[in-house]
A and B are shown apart, each in its own frame.
Chain A
């Protein structure tokens, strides 16, 4: 049986591999297109569309089955014109989606629209593929040397206590054997009951009499306190795990995780500026003027989204803005000291560091907390290990100089001055 199942398993595997290969070959003609389409899709469509679910606009999965390519091209290029031309399908969709007009994308060429369609198809196929891999997890936190050391030390300490206790027992037994005769043992046996009662007291007395043990225990307690104190002192001002209550229960898990909104959509600053910048409320309103999460709240608008409406003074009934906006006062989680200069764009755009490297699995966070310690050691460690993005032409000269030196295999940020004081402190 085992044999048969393994043979079957292997067979199934080879079939699936060849299928995947076949699929890949058939797709390869579209591969380039799909890649371009992905970029176009993310830049232009994600605000209103997702492949697998309804957003402001319909879910796009299966759109090629529902509509012809020519129709899609016409629709995407100028949906209003198509509606105006009296196309029945177009009008139906328009009615279905509360007459929210899809903006015209007249700048797209036919090929570009086709690539978007190719991308949607590819996504569709991925969604249908049961073997799809889980989202790439955040980089595993580097093993905490400190913790390991403490556990090790504790183990050694326990071992030492054990050894001392056993040794002193052995010594005592030997002493007893040498010094006491059998009569003494008999007498002791006779007083056994009384002995039983006072055993605990005796044990304590014995323990206290054993000066070595007392001394060692005291030493251990002091050492433990010292280690704890040391650790606490080092963590003063380190706020890993800081998770303040925010004025709006905004969930990154829903937005970045489930809905897969690009980080850049809201935190555009991270790609071009020093500050990642918290999005202004009008960015939220891009989606939330239609998304009210009412299906989760028995047809009522979500109380959290209502807070947003209050902030921008938006009346969801009349769909109008008032004149009394009140900015949302978020609680800042990542607080770098003023004497440290940090620039998001250098790390995100130039070095290509993923947001998750420092901010952790943000797409799974119901409430955001501080994932990284934000200590200088943490910065420096990363600078020591991260290779410089050699694609950037700015580094050409440095790479050339480094080639000449040929000291190491990779050129890290540290090697080009990433550890110098003035890189962050000025």
Chain B
């Protein structure tokens, strides 16, 4: 054991609470009452022999009778006229796009079942985030509306149309505004259809507002550069990144794209070339991005501006007033400023605050660092968030004044996600005619007069433009399932245009987008995207009155400074709450806290102690005159004096799965400086009652084993083997078992701990691919989540304090820590497909056996549920089906109705109650890849087979392939010096190699 660092999964493991010690001894969280049955009383219970025989006889007879049913007659119904492109059993792929990303939709027999990134979209994002992969489930959501509604009753489209047109005419005659309230629209064809409506009804206005607003950046750029846009960022060119509360790997702007670029400077290929970027994060709550930073400084939300002022001072040598007084931050800023200046042209500062002044100051700093034209691109700017808080303010004012005749809500739900819902309701009541395009009767739609439900993107024609110059196509993969109609089609119909939406989109492309490119519509449908932008943006110089901005920042900071400061954030899992009815997402653990099915008040353990809070307790958070009660989560890394709450929870009208999950935190936001800001001065008080969060983090313990290897970049440069701590380097091993031959393929995996950001996209991809059931909050509490792949999150104390806290003198010193400076390592954990698998030797029925391709097979129909294998698995990756999740009314919210089950992958069996399951290494994909090679009469080449998790990973942290092919990417990766195998000392010979985590800390 080279490292003297101590890692822990949860605070109870660090503190070794008695309850935890007790629980960690057992295989299962809840003891199985074996003793109760086998104790003397249990054995001496008198069951008369006759009763026993009666019961036995009846049981036998009943089971026999129950088993005697006629073999069901199966029908085989072929097409009458088979579409030429459909061959039953062979998937079809369609290029489409989701939130501006070019994707491929896999369909089987006409059903969309999986979404993966478009591999041909060179240069675009090659991974999908959790919401993208999970979105396929939304198609099969039972909570959606099946017909248009008027006054809460189902009507025909013709009736709805005549009503809407009458209302539009009335508004137009009265000269009243017709407002389309929407989240950002970057689709050229949607905009064109709105333009059609505007042409017919000139009072039409488009009000764009995003629940998580970025209008601060837009305003700041308008002031600094005269361009009211959000730039796009290329973190691939950044060697030094400073982020002040921007979760840029997760939710901030284009998180997945940032991840892909950012990791290129940190993954094994970059390290091999001796290069690694440095990332410093200042933030209050421990965000996913912060957990990946090399150095992380916990600050209060009110200090964000001050940190940037200090940074500006250090970089430019000026001395603006209002710098930070936080000692740790000051030291870090001194060091980091030097780094930034040295790396001019390859350094960038980003800030998460939705505040004009803070963003203006950031613009000034980035100008100094020469980031414009290299990392920050104002020419090929992002079009993902164009919402304007001011525009929505104006709409509300106009509506309240009775100036709005018709209000239509497109992808917009302000009654839920605007901080002042009462004002929205009041405004709605004063509008003559209201309509929502929501696909369900959500919070806003239930207040509108009419609902014109739209189909999901998988049923629609359309397009998107997430970035200037980038156009992606949206093409349907299935006919609309319900009686829905695209909003664009509705706009056309209401403006008296009878063009079908397909013709409209196509004509719009051919006239405006494809003109001059020499590409045809068909080619675009096949490619899925078109990029017309330039390679990189040109340099810009910010024109900022720094002194005035700094003064404003100081003034605003005073408004939110207090003993307790609140920070609202968007969780990378639930995002802004629009996907709340997606059970896959609800059950995906939050990357850092590992909480599922809830939001919570994250408070530093030390601070919580001061407040007298206990774990599993509840807390009342008050801010801006509103309050909510939430369960407490002790969050290491959280700045003392702060509380973080995720927005996107607490929906009340989203559907079966998502209703009343968590609490709505949007009302705690406020309007500061003209923009909606997620920070506030708050008070926190203990509330009555207890609440157990459904966390996946404490479900397994590491028993102090050395399974995480971590080194620093400096050490790595001296010795690439540093801290790899390979057991086989120092010990000779002996085998009890015969060696398994793998003459054909040997499937292995390499996981780069330095690339994994812990986002969880792989988990959702695995769930969708492998038909993994959703078990719900209660079952997660019982530690029965079914995820085959989990991402373990380990905390450790940052270097500075680790001297105080080493293995030798651990527990007592824990009290002395303030838990602000923790660092985090993520470790994706899945079946290691051990060559000497301990599970295989204990299975009494040979349900789990080894294959000649190095895989550990699991035959569900042999398994009869002894769970010996789970008990004997050192990695705790086996999952037991406690229920028949596919056909059990207790799991009614999720995947047990016939319609939703259409999302299932037909190549993978759904497991029944009482059997064990685990990662199969996507064996259906391996078999399909092999068959494809055989059909083409060729050898299998590297890259033919991709795991679902691998396909989803933007960071390329998961590399899969054939170890028998010395030139495969995985073979190359596994020859890396950083590779180690988890628990290799017990000689189970796992087939998944991990690469040590490297942290580019300050060498001071």
Closest Cβ of chain B: how far from A241's Cβ, in Å? 13
The smallest beta-carbon distance between B918 and chain A, in angstroms, is: 12
B833 vs chain A, min Cβ distance (A): 11
Q: Which residues of A contact B857 (CB under 8 A)?
A: 420-422, 425-426
Please tell me if A35 contacts chain B, counting CB pairs below 8 Å: no
* B73 with A244: CB separation less than 8 A: yes
Please tell me if the beta carbons of B71 and A422 are within 8 angstroms of each other in the complex. Answer: no
Contacts of B938 in A (CB 8 A): 393-394
Distance in angstroms from B887 CB to nearest chain A CB is: 13
Tell whether B37 is near chain A: CB-to-CB under 8 Å: no
A279: Cβ under 8 A from any B Cβ: yes
Residue in A272, A392, A393, A402 whose CB lies within 8 Å of B743 = A402
Asked if B934 is an interface residue, CB under 8 A from chain A, the answer is: yes
Interface range for B? 35 or more
Interface contact B937-A422, CB-CB below 8 Å: no
User: How many A residues face the partner with a CB closer than 8 A?
Assistant: 54
Contact between A277 and B937 (Cβ–Cβ < 8 Å)? no
Q: Indicate which residue in A326, A327, A349, A397 contacts B744 across the interface (CB closer than 8 Å).
A: A397
User: Which of A312, A345, A417 is the one whose CB lies under 8 Å from B853?
Assistant: A417
Docked pose: A116 CA to B322 CA in angstroms:
92
Which residue on B lies nearest to A283, using beta carbons?
B82
Q: Which residue of B88, B924, B930 is within 8 Å of A273 (Cβ)? A: B88
Residues of A within 8 A of B930 (CB): 394
Inter-chain contact total with CB atoms closer than 8 Å:
153
* Residue-wise interface mask of A (332-347) relative to B, using a CB-CB cutoff of 8 A (1 in contact, 0 not): 1001001101011110
On whether the beta carbons of A392 and B74 are closer than 8 Å, the reply is no
B849 contacts A394, CB within 8 Å? no
**Would you call B80 and A325 a contact (CB within 8 A)?**
yes
Q: Is the CB of A426 within 8 A of B77?
A: no
**Given contacts A273-B88, A417-B852, A426-B908, is CB(A345)–CB(B935) below 8 Å?**
yes
Contacts of B744 in A (CB 8 A): 397-398, 401, 416-417
The answer to whether B78 touches A277 (Cβ under 8 A) is yes
Within 8 A of B (CB), among A378-426: 392-398, 401-402, 405, 416-417, 420-423, 425-426
Q: 1/0 contact trace for B829-861 toward A, CB 8 Å?
A: 000000000000000000101011101011111
CA distance A398 to B746 in the complex (A): 12
With A269-B87, A275-B88, A426-B920 known as contacts, the answer to whether A331 contacts B76 (CB < 8 A) is yes
Q: How far is the CA of A320 from the CA of B361 in the complex (A)?
A: 74
Q: Is A312 within 8 A of B852, CB to CB?
A: no
Complex Cα gap A425–B852 (Å): 15
Q: Are B931 and A327 in contact (CB under 8 A)?
A: no
A62 at interface by CB-CB < 8 Å: no
Q: Are A327 and B79 in contact (CB under 8 A)?
A: yes
Q: Does A330 lie within 8 Å of B80, measured CB to CB?
A: no
Q: Of A341, A402, A405, which is in contact with the most chain B CB atoms at under 10 Å from its CB?
A: A341
Note all chain B residues with C-beta closer than 8 A to A395: 934
- Please determine whether B75 and A272 come into contact, CB atoms closer than 8 angstroms: no
A401 and B937 CA atoms in complex are apart in Å by 19
Interface string of B922-946 (1 = CB under 8 A from A): 0110010011011101111000000
Give chain B residues whose Cβ lies under 8 Å from the Cβ of A344. Answer: 89
Question: Which residues on B sit within 8 Å (CB–CB) of A335?
Answer: 74
User: Are A280 and B82 in contact, with the CB atoms below 8 A?
Assistant: yes
Collect the chain A residues with CB atoms within 8 Å of residue B81's CB.
Answer: 280-282, 312, 325
**Given B849, B907, B927, B940, which contacts A421 in the complex, CB threshold below 8 Å?**
B849
- Counting CB contacts under 8 A, is B671 at the interface? no
CB pair B77 A328 closer than 8 Å: yes
Interface: B173 (CB within 8 A): no
B92: min CB distance to chain A, Å? 12
Q: How far is the CB of A376 from chain B (nearest CB, A)?
A: 10
Measured in the bound complex, the distance between the Cα atoms of B852 and A405 in whole Å is 15
Given A327-B80, A422-B855: A393 and B90 interface contact (C-beta under 8 Å)? no
Given A394-B938, A401-B743; A332-B862 close (CB under 8 Å): no
Give complex CA distance A420, B937 in Å. Answer: 23
Closest CB-CB distance, B792 to chain A, in whole Å? 25
Given A272-B935, A421-B857, A426-B908, check contact A327 B78 (CB 8 Å). yes
Across the interface, do B77 and A331 meet the contact criterion of CB distance under 8 Å?
Answer: no
Q: Chain A residues with Cβ under 8 A from B933's Cβ? A: 394
Residues of A within 8 A of B16 (CB): none
Interface residue ranges of A343-375 to B (CB < 8 Å)? 343-346, 349-350
B923→A273 contact, CB < 8 A: no
Q: Which residues of A contact B851 (CB under 8 A)?
A: 417, 420-423
Given contacts A244-B73, A327-B78, contact A416 B852 (CB under 8 A): yes
Is A421 touching B924 in the complex (CB atoms < 8 A)? no
Is B909's CB within 8 Å of the partner chain A?
yes
**Chain B nearest Cβ from A413, distance in angstroms:** 12
**Assembly CA distance A277 to B109 (angstroms):** 12
- Determine the residue in chain B with the shortest Cβ distance to A242: B71
Return chain B residues, CB-CB under 8 Å to A343.
89, 927, 931
Closest to B924 in A: A426
Distance in angstroms between the alpha carbons of A237 and B72 in the assembled complex = 11
Chain B proximity of A237: nearest CB distance (Å): 7
Question: B893-915: which have CB < 8 Å to A?
Answer: 907-909
The distance from the CB of B346 to the nearest CB of chain A, in whole angstroms, is 45
Q: Given that A332-B75, A416-B744 are contacting pairs, would A275 and B859 also be in contact in the complex, using a CB cutoff of 8 Å?
A: no
Q: Is the pair B937, A392 in contact by a Cβ cutoff of 8 Å?
A: yes
Taking CB atoms, residues of chain A closer than 8 Å to B934 are: 346, 349-350, 392, 394-395
Chain B nearest CB from A276 CB (Å) reads 9
- Assess the B75–A330 pair: CB atoms within 8 A: yes
Known A269-B88, A420-B851: A281·B78 in contact at CB below 8 Å: yes
Residues of B near A327 (CB, < 8 A) are 77-80
Q: A421-B847, A421-B859 are in contact. List 7 more A-B contacts (CB 8 A).
A: A273-B88, A275-B89, A278-B76, A282-B79, A312-B80, A405-B743, A425-B859
Question: What are 26 sample pairs from A and B whose C-beta atoms fall under 8 A apart?
Answer: A272-B87, A277-B87, A277-B88, A280-B81, A281-B79, A282-B79, A283-B82, A326-B80, A328-B77, A339-B909, A346-B931, A346-B934, A349-B935, A350-B931, A350-B935, A395-B934, A397-B939, A416-B744, A416-B852, A421-B851, A421-B857, A421-B859, A421-B862, A422-B857, A422-B923, A425-B857
Instruction: Spell out B's residues near A (CB within 8 Å).
Output: 71, 73-82, 87-90, 743-744, 847, 849, 851-853, 855, 857-862, 907-909, 920, 923-924, 927, 930-931, 933-935, 937-940, 964
Please report A residues at the B interface, Cβ cutoff 8 Å: 237, 239, 244, 268-269, 272-275, 277-283, 311-312, 325-332, 335, 338-339, 341, 343-346, 349-350, 392-398, 401-402, 405, 416-417, 420-423, 425-426
- Closest 4 A-B residue pairs measured CB to CB? A422-B857, A401-B743, A274-B89, A273-B89
